Chain A
Amino acid sequence: MNIFIDKFFANTTRFIAFGILLLVAWIFTVLFEHSLESIKAFGFLFITEDKWAPNLEKFGALPAIYGSVISTFLAMILAVPLAIGVAIFLSEIAHAKLKAPVGVSIELLAAIPSVVYGMWGLFYFVPIIRDIFGGVGISMLSAGIVLSVMILPFMAAITRDAMNTTPDILKESAYALGGTKWDVVKDIIIPYAKAGIIGSFILALGRAIGETMAVTFVMGNVHKISIDLTQPATSIPVTLANEFAEADSALYYSSLFELSLLLLVVSFTIISVAKFYFLRRKRVI
């Protein structure tokens, strides 16, 4: 009896664990199958064509790709220096009594759902952008800034973790030689934790590019490429969030599926680079 239960238990767990691999393969296959019609219809033009006109059955993803790239880029250039600052503050400057509460509250802020960040952006941040730059305020710029605020806690927390892997004895040796805090940061911590720090940024980039709700509120979903950052724009997730439930033709759906596939492949690649090249797995949560 015990042997039977034993086998059954072992096989159940194995079955479920392998099921995860199948599930991921299934996700890719389904998205690919549903994209076929659009791939056949547009081929490579899908990613180079800048006209997205559902009423004409013309679907070019360039504005969405452009929006994703630019908004993520904006978010990164704003968030990276702040995240480094916060991480240095938490690992070297802050008093021990301050470290724990500030660190924990940053981690907790990373847990607040992104839809809340989006709401804040829409009601409190967009009006400021509108007052400063004119226009409607709903724009690429707002999206980039809201996105940077959204990924900041996550980025700061994992950057700090990467910096904290530096052995104390190395830091203490440097301080004993008369190094200032900045000397320790730039000559000990950053060289030691370089891979981890870069990995954290890339991981945050992977999250930012797939982030939907924080930007959907403030981007406007306008399929037009504009150099002017104060103009409404769109990105891949914003297009999906706005149009998926109301697509009305097979080709329209297929194009949206192709966008999803594109997004999945890109973020899969970015996240794998971060995880496997820079961060050999240490942290789970």
Chain B
Amino acid sequence: MTHTQKRIIINDIVMALSTLSALIGMGFLFWILSVLIINGIDALSMSIFLNEGAPPGNSDGGLKHALIGQLYLVGYASFFGIPLGVLAGTYLSEYSQKSKVAEIIRDISDIMMSAPSIVIGAFVYAVVVAPFGHFSGWAGTIALSIIMLPIILRTTDDMLQLVPSTLREAAFALGAPKYKVIVQVVYRGAKAGILTGILLGVARVAGETAPLLFTSFNDNFLNTDMSQPMASLTVTMYNYATSPYEDWQKLGWAAAFILSMFILTLNILGRVFLLKKRGKR
């Protein structure tokens, strides 16, 4: 066997192996996806959106409490997390560009983006739940906003830096004060990018379970009082899936399906915004 033949054979083997591993990887992932879709669609019905939690054995239980609780939790987390993240990102990109402190803030936020979310839950438990003496929707919201903050900060920072400095200079030359340049020129130029960051941040937070386990806890009934324990889709999913009751498990799959579709939609929307922007250039 010549040297060339040997190289070709080795090449074929390695290429076959990596194609195989791609197939195995994709196979697992599509297994999960199909399980999610089949069980989810099977469990979906109108009563899921109309009814609250019911005791096991009762087939007309629904997820209304968890859906609404989830909206409250993620909604309030976005209400705090988005403006704070965008403003902090603005500081990094517009006011302190390359300074040492800005670099440190960037680095710390990068790390926080991958830090274990359950630890944030423990922190919020210590500073919110324990002093007040009970679990609450606010505690869950605070935990989620802490997780969301670094994601939005970093995307805003990056996206603002992509805005050409000639735009800023042109606005300054017209005599605009800096805040007006930022709000009316820079933000506008980076609109699609910031929006993508926001969508991905919300999507990430919407799927969080661990930090909610001991902050917002859970509630099997509809509650819109943020100072009380509150149901979320994720914690409900966890409780229902680990219960021995089949009708609860079914509701768990429905929750998993609704939540995953929501998160995938946000992710796809985020990508579309970015692509559209790139297409325009």
Instruction: Report which A residues bind B (CB closer than 8 A).
Output: 2-3, 5-6, 9-10, 12-14, 16-21, 23-24, 26-27, 30-31, 33-34, 81-86, 88-90, 93-94, 102, 104-109, 111-120, 122-124, 149, 152-153, 156, 180-183, 185, 203, 206-207, 209-213, 216-217, 237, 240-241, 244-245, 256-257, 260, 263-264, 267-268, 271-272, 275-276, 281, 284-285
A17 touches B29 (CB 8 A): no
B15 at the interface (CB under 8 A from A): yes
Would A13 and B32 be within 8 Å (CB), given that A30-B126, A89-B22, A112-B263 are in contact? no
Per-position binary interface string of chain B over residues 196-237, scored 1 when its CB falls under 8 Å from any chain A CB and 0 otherwise? 110010011011111001100100000000000000001001
Complex: A236 Cα to B201 Cα, angstroms: 26
A115 and B213 contact, CB distance less than 8 A = no
A160 to chain B, nearest CB (A): 11
Contact present for B179 and A10 (CB under 8 Å): yes
A-B pairs with CB below 8 Å: how many? Answer: 276
Complex interface: chain B residues within 8 A of A114 (CB)? 207, 209
Which of chain B's residues have a CB closer than 8 A to the CB of A122? 241-242
Q: List 7 A-B contacts (CB under 8 A).
A: A13-B87, A31-B123, A120-B36, A182-B15, A211-B116, A213-B210, A217-B238
The reply to whether A23 and B146 form a contact with Cβ atoms under 8 Å apart is: yes
From B25, B31, B105, B108, contact of A152 by CB (8 A): B25
Q: Which residue of B lies closest to A113 (CB)?
A: B207
Complex interface: chain B residues within 8 A of A271 (CB): 110-111, 114-115
How far is the CB of B221 from the nearest CB of chain A, in Å?
A: 18
Q: Does B7 contact A (CB under 8 A)?
A: yes
Do the beta carbons of A27 and B120 come within 8 Å of each other? Answer: yes
Chain B residues closer than 8 Å to A30, beta-carbon distance: 123, 126-127
Chain B's interface: helix, strand, loop or mixed, by majority?
Answer: helix
Whether A212 lies near B210 (C-beta < 8 A) is: yes
Question: Is B18 within 8 A of A89, CB to CB?
Answer: yes
Q: In this assembly, does B248 line the interface, its C-beta being within 8 Å of a C-beta of chain A?
A: no
Residues in B with CB closer than 8 Å to A245 are 135, 213-214, 217
The 3 A-B pairs of least Cβ separation, nearest first, read A210-B116, A85-B21, A113-B207
Of listed A88, A256, A272, A285, residue having the most chain B CB within 10 A: A285
Given contacts A31-B122, A114-B209, A241-B210, 9 further A-B pairs with CB under 8 A are A6-B178, A18-B105, A21-B105, A26-B127, A27-B120, A89-B19, A111-B264, A216-B238, A237-B118
A2 touches B177 (CB 8 A): yes
Assuming the contacts A211-B116, A212-B117, A241-B213, asked whether A3 and B123 have C-beta atoms less than 8 A apart, the reply is no
**Considering residues A108, A124, A206, which has the most beta carbons from chain B within 10 angstroms of its beta carbon?**
A108
